[in-house]
Every structure is written in structure tokens, then in C-alpha cells.
């Protein structure tokens, strides 16, 4: 994959002789650094895996690109997003990881943490600007398609949903392929699916989805 297909501000660079995705910013989770660049570990990040596996995310990067990130946890992935994108709203409902997320915010003025439940978008609708360019979702909860549908209201008409679906969060007993079929079907209520790809190389029983609002 050439760097031209990656968002501006994301590059493949050498870290100790290994080529890895990287963004420019302060270290957050002990990842290797080289000068002002830090490695983006696809085994720790579904979005990193989607980019590394060459999915066409539509991410462009740059100050103008606005992102709503659902399921920010302690900031591993969303910190990389805030390194290359513009205003980045990071929703996470568990207080403990948000405390760590705040450390990533210290050096990232465009990263806005929100201690909120992604199933209740009305609780942050007054903060998040409408017409965001990208929704990234990695909530690992039951009802992942529903969360994406309920947050569609924030997405610009030509925006993109980048969704990582964890099969086991829906039902540990079912075949992941059946779970993914159901998620795809439910998502189609509000989205046109552009690309889907299993992320198993980095994340077992996860499906990456790129979609746009219909």
C-alpha cells in the first residue's frame, strides 16, 4: 500500500527495522517512537488493522476532518486519530479508562473526551457538531448495529462509518459469520455498506465495515 492511500498524517515508517503505520504525536501506550513519530500497533487497534489491511476507509486526514469516535477506552486508537485529523470527539462510558484518556488529551487540543453512553446520543448532541466526516465505532457491546444507527444523525451525507464489530459481544455462542450477517442486515436500515473485511489477522472474530449513510 502506498502512503498516498493512507490519510494525510499517517505514514509507514521504520521502527527497529520493521515498517509500521505511524502518526506524529506524544506516546500514549508505550508504543515505539522515532523522533516525532510513534508506531500505530494494529494488534491494539481495530482502525489500525483496517488501515494496515488496506481497507478503503475514506479517511483523508487534516485539520478540517471531523471525527466522532465511539468506544474510546483509554485512548489507544483515538489518540492516533487526533494526531492526523481535526476535531475528534471521543465517547466512552466507563470512567476508569477515561482517566487515562485525559492524559492523551493533554497534548492533543483537538481531542474532546465525553464520558457518555454511545446508546444515548441525545446526551452529547449539544456538544458534537453535526455533519461529522467520519464515525469510528469500536464499542464491544451488544447491539453494535443499533449504536451505529442511532449515531447516524451526526454523520454528513457523504461521511463514512468505520465500524469494528466484535462477534462475541453480540453472542458468544453463535457462529461469528451468522452474527456478522445479522449486523450487516440491521445496518442496512440506515447505511450502504461499501466494504467489509474480517480483521482476524489482528483481532479474532472481528469484522471491519466501511459504510456511508443512505
Q: Which of 41, 45, 66, 151 binds ligand SAM (CB under 6 A)?
A: 45
DSSP-assigned letter for residue 3: G
- Please report whether residue 12 would count as binding ligand SAM according to CB under 6 A: no
Binding mask 116-145 vs ligand SAM (x if CB under 6 A, - otherwise)?
-xxx------------------xxxx----
CA 200, distance to chain mean position in Å, is 17
211 marked ligand binding residue: no
Nearest to 69 by CA among 146, 150, 151: 151
Binding residues for ligand SAM, how many (CB under 6 A)?
A: 18
Using CB under 6 A, which residues numbered 80 to 99 contact ligand SAM? 91-94, 97
- Whether residue 109 contacts residue 83, with contact meaning beta carbons closer than 8 Å, is answered with no
107 marked ligand binding residue: no
18 marked ligand binding residue: no
CB of 17 to ligand SAM, least distance (A): 26
Q: Which of 21, 68, 73, 155 binds ligand SAM (CB under 6 A)?
A: 73
CA distance 134 to 137: 10
- Of residues 91 and 155, the one with the C-beta less far from ligand SAM: 91
Q: Which long-range contacts (CB under 8 A, 24 or more apart) does 71-74 make?
A: 71/118, 71/137, 71/138, 71/139, 71/140, 71/141, 72/97, 72/98, 72/101, 72/113, 73/97, 73/101, 74/29, 74/98, 74/100, 74/101, 74/104
In 109-204, which ranges are E strands? 111-115, 132-137, 155-166, 191-198
- Of residues 11 and 117, the one with the C-beta less far from ligand SAM: 117
196 marked ligand binding residue: no
Which span sits near ligand SAM by CB under 6 A: 20-28, 69-77, 100-108, 175-183? Answer: 69-77
Measured between alpha carbons, how far apart are the two ends of the chain, in Å? 29
- Of residues 65 and 92, the one with the C-beta less far from ligand SAM: 92
**Site residues (vs ligand SAM, CB under 6 A):** 45, 71-73, 76-77, 91-94, 97, 117-119, 138-141
Amino acid at each position: 500500500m502506498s502512503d498516498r492511500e493512507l490519510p494525510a498524517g499517517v505514514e509507514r515508517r521504520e521502527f527497529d527495522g520493521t515498517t509500521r503505520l505511524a502518526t506524529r504525536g506524544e506516546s500514549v501506550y508505550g508504543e515505539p517512537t522515532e523522533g516525532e513519530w510513534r508506531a500505530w500497533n494494529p494488534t491494539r487497534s481495530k482502525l489500525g488493522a483496517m488501515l494496515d489491511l488496506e481497507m478503503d476507509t475514506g479517511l483523508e486526514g487534516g485539520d478540517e476532518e471531523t471525527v466522532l469516535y465511539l468506544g474510546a477506552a483509554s485512548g489507544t486508537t483515538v489518540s492516533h486519530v487526533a494526531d492526523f485529523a481535526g476535531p475528534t470527539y471521543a465517547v466512552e462510558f466507563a470512567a476508569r479508562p477515561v482517566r487515562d484518556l485525559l492524559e492523551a488529551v493533554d497534548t492533543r487540543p483537538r481531542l474532546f473526551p465525553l464520558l457518555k453512553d454511545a446508546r444515548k446520543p441525545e446526551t452529547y448532541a449539544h456538544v458534537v457538531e453535526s455533519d461529522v466526516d467520519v464515525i469510528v465505532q469500536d464499542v464491544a457491546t451488544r447491539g453494535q448495529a443499533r449504536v451505529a444507527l442511532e449515531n447516524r444523525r451526526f454523520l454528513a451525507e457523504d461521511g463514512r462509518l468505520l465500524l469494528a464489530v466484535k462477534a462475541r459481544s453480540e453472542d458468544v455462542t453463535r457462529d461469528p459469520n451468522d452474527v456478522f450477517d445479522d449486523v450487516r442486515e440491521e445496518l442496512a436500515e440506515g447505511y450502504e455498506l461499501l466494504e467489509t473485511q474480517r480483521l482476524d489477522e489482528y483481532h479474532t472474530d472481528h469484522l471491519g465495515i466501511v459504510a456511508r449513510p443512505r
